[in-house]
């Protein structure tokens, strides 16, 4: 068959293991050099294709590519840029196909969440229309764990491990000082509409009474009176209270507790500040001394404490994406399939992009305790396997060592293009 080049891009918020997927794509493609010539990576995600800024990964050493497996963040750059519908902005899709034609790109691998899978699906459709068919395969990635069909999303397991460990360690800190100092500690974690990350904090507790004492989920409407009563009871019973809250916590009428009033490029409301909001409430109504923290980028960048299960799965979906493409499986996304049985085992499956695009999976109600402030045994059974194993990066002089890429750009062949114009 004719040899074609491939284009790989990272999209949206990055994770501790998204580069492991990139590593899987590039290394697998190199084993099929008769079918895939070069793998070009988009500089800053899909914008790299629109601007014709293509990184030639063949210019990197094999050791540099291998180092991607233990490097956090987006090695090639990512972006929050959503291509609109085909009818709304056909010019951008036409530009993608034009760039792909100019550089003999026949395979498109898009590493991201639901919005990204939607883009990959649309490109697979318009490429046929425009006479340059592209095999498009999505690669799952999201710390929020809200992609449908797949058992879990690569990127989530490592965030879950970080949050669980942080909750346990901070809980010990607060407990040791609670007699004369802080009574309430609030940790804010990511999770816009799905509380999977907040739920992972529940793994920190080995027995009743261990922190976290409250978890605030987006799936459960915030009830101020019940919240304050639970905090007060925890302090009276245990001497302190540790709270983990999802950034997407909201009132019964749908208003976010942390609505910042602005939106990102995907149209999502910008959130942040729920921890200080709750802290102020606790101070005003209960007059307890408090501290709060926002895990923010730390939770998704913490490669030093990544879940080995997560790293292995992230690499596997990257590798599977190439294998799917070479088998002619278009407009699909590799998935993680949990095998039945008491011992955790997983395999790779596939889902049509049309069924993944723009669909959010929330936590089942039976994963949340009856009072709405904790997790159930079923949730614990689901989460625990995802944080198993350690996969430490190499260290030098006490610090982790990460990939250092040259990122050589391919010479441009087309006139400039202004996205969104």
Residues carrying an active site annotation: 144
- The rounded distance, in Å, linking the Cα atoms of 409 and 43 is 8
Own/partner contacts of 369-376, CB < 8 Å, gap of 24 or more, are 371/230, 372/217, 372/220, 372/226, 373/213, 373/214, 373/215, 373/216, 373/230, 374/202, 374/212, 374/214, 374/215, 375/199, 375/202, 375/215
Please state, in angstroms and rounded to a whole number, the distance separating the CA atoms of residues 246 and 194.
8
Dihedral-angle region of residue 12 (phi above 0 means left; psi in -120 to 50 means alpha; beta otherwise): left
Q: What is the DSSP string of 206-226?
A: SSTTPSPSEEE-TTS---HHH
Integer Cα distance of 286 and 279 in angstroms:
10
- CB–CB of 38/104 below 8 Å? no
CA-CA distance, 292 to 276, in Å (whole number)? 7
Count CA atoms closer than 13 A to 18's CA, side-chain side: 29
Tokens standing for residue 238: 């245990």
CA neighbor of 283 nearest in space, from 245, 244, 228: 228
Residues 44, 13 contacting (CB under 8 angstroms):
no
Backbone angles phi, psi at 63, to 5 degrees: -70, -35
Q: How far apart are CA 275 and CA 297, in angstroms?
A: 15
Token representation of residue 110:
């898009």
β-strand partners of 215:
244
State the burial class of residue 209 (Cβ atoms within 10 Å of its Cβ: 0-12, 13-18, 19+): exposed
Q: Are strands 241-246 and 184-189 parallel, antiparallel or unpaired?
A: parallel
> Rounded to the nearest 5°, which phi and psi values hold at 145?
60, 35
Distances (CA, A) of 107 to 14, 325, 408: 22, 7, 20
Instruction: Give the contacts of 208 (CB within 8 A, at least 6 positions apart).
Output: none
């Amino acid at each position: 068959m004719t040899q074609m080049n491939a284009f790989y891009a990272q999209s949206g918020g990055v994770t501790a293991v998204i580069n492991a997927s990139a590593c899987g794509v590039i290394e697998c493609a190199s084993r099929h050099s008769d079918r895939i010539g070069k793998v070009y990576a988009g500089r800053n995600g899909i914008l790299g294709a629109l601007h014709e800024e293509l990184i030639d990964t063949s210019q990197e050493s094999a050791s540099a590519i291998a180092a991607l497996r233990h490097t956090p963040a987006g090695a090639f750059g990512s972006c929050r840029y959503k291509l609109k519908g085909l009818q709304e902005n056909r010019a951008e899709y036409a530009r993608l196909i034009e760039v792909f034609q100019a550089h003999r790109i026949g395979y498109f691998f898009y590493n991201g969440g639901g919005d990204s899978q939607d883009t990959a699906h649309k490109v697979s459709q318009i490429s046929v229309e425009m006479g340059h068919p592209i095999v498009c395969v999505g690669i799952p990635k999201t710390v929020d764990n809200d992609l449908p069909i797949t058992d879990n999303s690569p990127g989530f397991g490592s965030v879950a491990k970080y949050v669980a460990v942080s909750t346990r360690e901070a809980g010990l800190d607060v407990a040791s000082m609670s007699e004369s100092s802080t009574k309430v500690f609030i940790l804010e974690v990511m999770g816009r509409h799905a509380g999977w990350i907040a739920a992972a904090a529940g793994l920190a507790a080995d027995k009743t009474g261990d922190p976290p004492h409250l978890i605030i989920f987006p799936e459960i409407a915030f009830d101020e009176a019940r919240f304050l009563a639970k905090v007060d009871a925890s302090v009276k019973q245990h001497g302190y209270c540790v709270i983990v809250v999802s950034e997407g916590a909201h009132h019964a009428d749908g208003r976010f507790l942390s609505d910042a009033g602005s939106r990102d490029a995907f149209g999502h409301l910008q959130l942040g500040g729920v921890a200080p909001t709750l802290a102020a409430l606790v101070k005003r109504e209960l007059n307890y001394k408090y501290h709060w923290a926002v895990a923010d980028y730390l939770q998704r960048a913490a490669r030093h404490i990544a879940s080995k299960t997560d790293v292995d799965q992230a690499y596997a979906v990257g590798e599977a994406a190439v294998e799917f493409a070479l088998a002619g499986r278009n407009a699909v996304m590799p998935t993680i399939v949990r095998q039945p049985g008491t011992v955790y085992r997983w395999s790779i499956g596939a889902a049509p992009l049309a069924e993944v695009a723009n669909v959010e999976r929330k936590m089942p109600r039976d994963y949340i305790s009856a009072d709405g402030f904790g997790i159930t045994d079923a949730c614990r059974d689901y989460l625990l396997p995802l944080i198993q194993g350690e996969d430490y990066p190499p260290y030098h002089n006490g610090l982790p060592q990460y990939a250092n890429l040259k990122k050589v750009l391919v010479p441009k062949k087309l006139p400039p293009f202004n996205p969104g114009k």
